[in-house]
Structure 1
Amino acid sequence: MAPPSDAFAVSWETVPWERDATLPASRRQRLAARGPYAAAIPARIRDTASDIAPDLAAEAEDAIREIARFDAELTARAGGAGDEIAPLASVLLRTESASSSQIEGVTAGARALALAGISQPTGRNAELVAQNVAAMTRAIALSDEMAEGAILQAHAALMAGERHASPGQFRTEQVWIGGGPSPHTAEFVPPRAERIPGAMADLMAFTRRADIPLLTHAAIAHAQFETIHPFADGNGRVGRALVHAMLRRAGATTRMTVPVSAGLLADTRGYTAALMDFRRGDVEPIVRAFVNAAFRGAANGRVLAEELARIRAGWEERLPSRRGSAARRLLDVLVRQPALTTPLVVGELGVASSAAQRAIAQLTNAGIIEPRSANARRNRVWLAPEVLDALDAFAARAGRRDPLAPR
C-alpha cells in the first residue's frame, strides 16, 4: 500500500458562524454550535500525480478491461449497432440510475420506474430516478466537453422542479454532511461557496488529462467532486454520472452503461469511508471501491442481460404473429419500457391506434403483458411482469456483496 499523500488531502479554514435561533436544537447542539467552524479547502489537483501501490494499479487496469469487455460483449449480443442495441442500452442506463439514486436513499421498484417512464402517476422517488436517467444521459452526451457547463446541465436535468436544490447552479450557501443543525458537529464540511468555481475549474481540468490510468483517474475525480460538493443537493448522483462520462470519453464504454453504482451498493459504508480517506490524502480506498464495484456491477449486468435475452426468446416462441408485424416489433419496446399505453405504441411503432390495439391484444393473449388494472376502461396501462421481475432481481442482487450468491 502506498502511504497517504498530502497532494490530495484537504486543508482547513476557520469560518465565522451565526446560529439561526429559530431552528430547533437540543441543548448539546446549541452549546456545540458556538463560535467559528472549520470548512475544507480542496487540494488543487489539475497537475497532481497519482501514486498507488502496484498491485492495486494492476487490479484497476484489470477492472477497466472488464468494463470494456462488458461493453463489447453486450453490444455484440444486442445486435452490434444502431437501433438494435437500444433496448438493452436503455435498460442498463435505467438500472444504473436507479442504483445511483438508491445509494442516496432514493428507492423505487421496477413497476414504479416503468410507470414513471410513461408519465403515469407514481411516487416521487420514481420521478427522481427518471430525472437521474435524464441527468446521466446528459452527462454522457456531453462527455467530450468535460467542462463545468456539462456538469451544470446534468444537475439541471436531475433536480428539475426542486427549487431547494437550485437546478443547474452551484450552491451559494454553506452545506455540511451529517451532524445536525450546524457544521460544528458534522462528519464533513465542504468548502465555502465562494471556493466552488475555482475548485470546479481545477477539477474539470484534471478530468481532461490523459496521463493517468483510467479507473484511478475516474475514482479520484469522483472523490474530488464529492469533496467540493458543489450543489445544494444531488451531488452523489451527478458525481457518479461524471464517472460514466469519463469512461465514455476515454472509450472504455461505447454504447452500454456498466452498472458501477450497483457495485457500490454492495458496500455503501465502505464507499463512504473511502471518500473520507481520500479527504485525508489516501487515494487507494476509493480506487479499490471502484475496482470492486466494476467487477460486481459487470457480473450483475451480465446476469440481467442473459435473463432479458431468455425472456425475449420465450416471447418469440409464444407469439403467433408473423415476423415484422406490429406485435413482434413491440417486443423490443417492452424490454426497454415494460409499461405500455396505446398512445405510446402508436408513437413508438408509427402505426394507427387500431393497429396498436391489435398488437397489445396479441401480446396480452400470449401472456406477455397484462393490464395494470382489470377494471380500467380509459387510459389503460399494460405491464410486462417478466421484465419487471428481472429488474427487481437485479436490484436485489446489487445490495449483496456477492451479486451471484443465492439469496
Structure 2
Amino acid sequence: MATEAAPAPIVIEPVSHEPFEWVPRAPEMFSRAEVSRQTGRYDATVTAPIAQWHPLLSGEDSADVEDATRQLVEFDQHAQKKLGTDHPALGPMTAILLRTESASSSQIEQLTTSAKQLALAEIEEGDKANALTVIGNVRAMEAALQMADDINEDSILAMHRALLTHQRGLEHEAGRYRQEQVWIGTGNAGPRFATFVAPHHDRIPGAIADLVSFIDREDVSVLVQVAVAHAQFETIHPFVDGNGRTGRALAQSILRNKKLVGSTAVPISAGLLVDTERYFAALGAFRDGDAGPIVREFAMASRIAAKTGTWLVDGLVEQLDESRQEMKGIRADAAAWKVLPYLVGQPAVNTKYLMAELGLGEMAALRALDALTERGVLTETSGKSRNRVWQHRGIFGVLDAYAAEIRRMTVR
C-alpha cells in the first residue's frame, strides 16, 4: 500500500547547546530527591544565526506560500472594498480584528476570554482577570502596528512593555530582557530535564540583533520571513513571560512593515489556534533544522485567517448596515451617527468612552445613546443609575459566532 511522501524539508541551521551548572535557588521549597536531580550540568540552547540564511523551498511549498499570500492580500482588499478607504468604520474594523487576533493569540497560551468581557475591560467595566491580561495583548498588537515602519530592538521591547504592563504581578518585567535562565517543561527546581531550555540570558541582545537583520531583508518571501522570524523569536525566548504573545505581535508588525496588508489586522493566531499541538511541534522542528513545518503552519493559518476574517468583516458590515436602516429619520448632524461606526470596534460603550474617543460632552453623549437605544441599535445592559453600559447585541452576536466557528475548527 502506497504511503504519502513526507514534505521536503526547508533546511535551516539547527540550534546547538552549551553547558552550564545549576543549583536550585530555593532548595527548601523542594524535596531532597528533586534538589539532587536538579543539581548539576544542564544544556542551554544556542540559536543559529539567520541574518544571511537563504531558504530553498520545493515547488509545492513555493506554491503553497504564494497561494496563502494571495489570500491575505485579497482579504485586506476585501475589507477596503466593503467599507471604502475613507469610511469612518475602517479604523474600528481594524481595532476589532486586532482584538480578535489578540484573543486568539492569548488563547494559545491558555488565556481565554469572551468578546463581551474584552469590550467591557476596554471601558474599565467588568472584573475578569483574563480579560485584563488579554487587553495587554491588544496593546502589544497595537504597538506592533504603530511601530511597523521600523522594526528594531526598541520596538520589540515596546511591544513587550505594552503587553506586560497590564499583567498583574509582572509589571516590573515589562519591556526588559530576562536576566535569568528559563525553560519549558516539568521541573520547577531547575532546567536539567526540561523539554526546552532557552538560551542563556547573556546571548539575548546578540540574537535579537541577528533577528532584526533578518527582518530587514527584502529578498525573502514575506510569509516565509514572518514564519521564520517568529520561530527564531520563540527560540530566543527573550522575556520572563509573554514570549509567545509578543512573537505573534511581531508577526503582525512584519506583515504591515512589508506592506503585505495595510488597512486591517490579520487574525493569523486564529489559524494557529486550530491545531496548537502541530504549531508547537513545528517550532520544535525549526530548532532541529527544518523550517518547513512552521512555514506550512503560517501558510495554513493565513488561509484560515483570510477565510474566517472575510466572514467576520462581512458580518460586521451587515450589522452596520442594519443599524443605519434603524436610524433613518435621525438628523444627519446628530451625534448618534458619529457614534455608530465606533460600535464596530467597541460594541460596549459608556459615556466616559464616548467623551474620551469622540470628544463629546456628557449631555451630547447621553443624547446619542438615548437615540441609539430608542431605535433598537443599542441596549442598556447595566441596569444601574450610575456606571451605565450600552451594548450592540448584533455585533456581539457576530463576534461570538466567529469564536464558535474557530472552536469548531479546533483539533481537540
Scaled by the length of structure 1, the TM-score of the pair is: 0.94
Q: Which moved more, 1:362-371 or 1:238-247?
A: 362-371
Q: In 2 relative to 1, CA 152–213 (structure 1 residues): closer, same or farther, beyond 3 Å?
A: same
Instruction: Quote the Cα distance in structure 2 between the aligned partners of 1:61 and 1:100.
Output: 24
Partner of 2:376: 367
Structure 1 residue 2 displacement after superposition:
2.9
The reply on whether 1:178 has 2:185 as its aligned counterpart is yes
The reply on whether 1:2 has 2:11 as its aligned counterpart is no
Matched to 1:270, the amino acid is R
Contact 2:82 2:317 in 1 (8 A): no
- SS of the residue corresponding to residue 367 of structure 1 reads coil
Partner of 2:4: none
Structure 1 residue 252 displacement after superposition:
0.4
From 55, 77, 89, give the equivalent of 1:50: 55
Matched to 1:313, the amino acid is D
Partner of 2:125: 120
Instruction: Quote the Cα distance in structure 2 between the aligned partners of 1:313 and 1:26.
Output: 64
Partner of 1:354: 363
Instruction: Quote the Cα distance in structure 2 between the aligned partners of 1:115 and 1:53.
Output: 47
From 303, 306, 311, give the equivalent of 2:319: 311
Tell me the percent identity: 41
Q: 1:248-327, aligned counterparts within 5 Å?
A: 248-319=256-327, 320-327=329-336
- SS of the residue corresponding to residue 185 of structure 1 reads coil
Structure 1 residue 355 displacement after superposition:
2.5
Instruction: Quote the Cα distance in structure 2 between the aligned partners of 1:220 and 1:113.
Output: 30
The reply on whether 1:139 has 2:148 as its aligned counterpart is no
Partner of 2:3: none
Query: Which runs of 5 or more structure 1 residues have no equivalent in the other structure?
Result: none
1:138-174: CA deviation from partner (whole Å, max 9, x where unpaired):
1222122221111001101100055536111111100
Instruction: Quote the Cα distance in structure 1 between the aligned partners of 2:95 and 2:203.
Output: 37
The number of equivalent residue pairs is 401
Matched to 2:63, the amino acid is A
The reply on whether 1:187 has 2:195 as its aligned counterpart is yes
Q: 1:67-146, aligned counterparts within 5 Å?
A: 67-81=72-86, 83-146=88-151
Q: 1:150-229, aligned counterparts within 5 Å?
A: 150-160=155-165, 162=167, 164=170, 166-181=173-188, 182-229=190-237
Structure 1 residue 44 displacement after superposition:
0.8
Q: In 2 relative to 1, CA 335–84 (structure 1 residues): closer, same or farther, beyond 3 Å?
A: closer
- SS of the residue corresponding to residue 184 of structure 2 reads coil
Q: Which moved more, 1:348-357 or 1:193-202?
A: 348-357
1:182-241: CA deviation from partner (whole Å, max 9, x where unpaired):
212211111000111111111110111111111111100100000000000010011011
Q: Which moved more, 1:21-30 or 1:95-104?
A: 21-30
Structure 1 residue 82 displacement after superposition:
6.2
Structure 1 residue 27 displacement after superposition:
6.7
Contact 1:278 1:285 in 2 (8 A): yes
Q: Which moved more, 1:233-242 or 1:380-389?
A: 380-389
Structure 1 residue 324 displacement after superposition:
3.5
Instruction: Quote the Cα distance in structure 2 between the aligned partners of 1:402 and 1:268.
Output: 9
The reply on whether 1:345 has 2:354 as its aligned counterpart is yes
1:44-79: CA deviation from partner (whole Å, max 9, x where unpaired):
111011122220121111111111111111022122
Q: CA RMSD in A?
A: 1.9
Q: Which moved more, 1:17-26 or 1:291-300?
A: 17-26
1:317-340: CA deviation from partner (whole Å, max 9, x where unpaired):
222413342222221111111111
Contact 1:96 1:260 in 2 (8 A): yes
Structure 1 residue 128 displacement after superposition:
1.6
Instruction: Quote the Cα distance in structure 2 between the aligned partners of 1:109 and 1:259.
Output: 16
- SS of the residue corresponding to residue 36 of structure 1 reads strand
Q: In 2 relative to 1, CA 29–277 (structure 1 residues): closer, same or farther, beyond 3 Å?
A: farther
Matched to 1:362, the amino acid is A
1:244-265: CA deviation from partner (whole Å, max 9, x where unpaired):
1111111101121111001111
- SS of the residue corresponding to residue 39 of structure 1 reads strand
Contact 2:135 2:166 in 1 (8 A): no
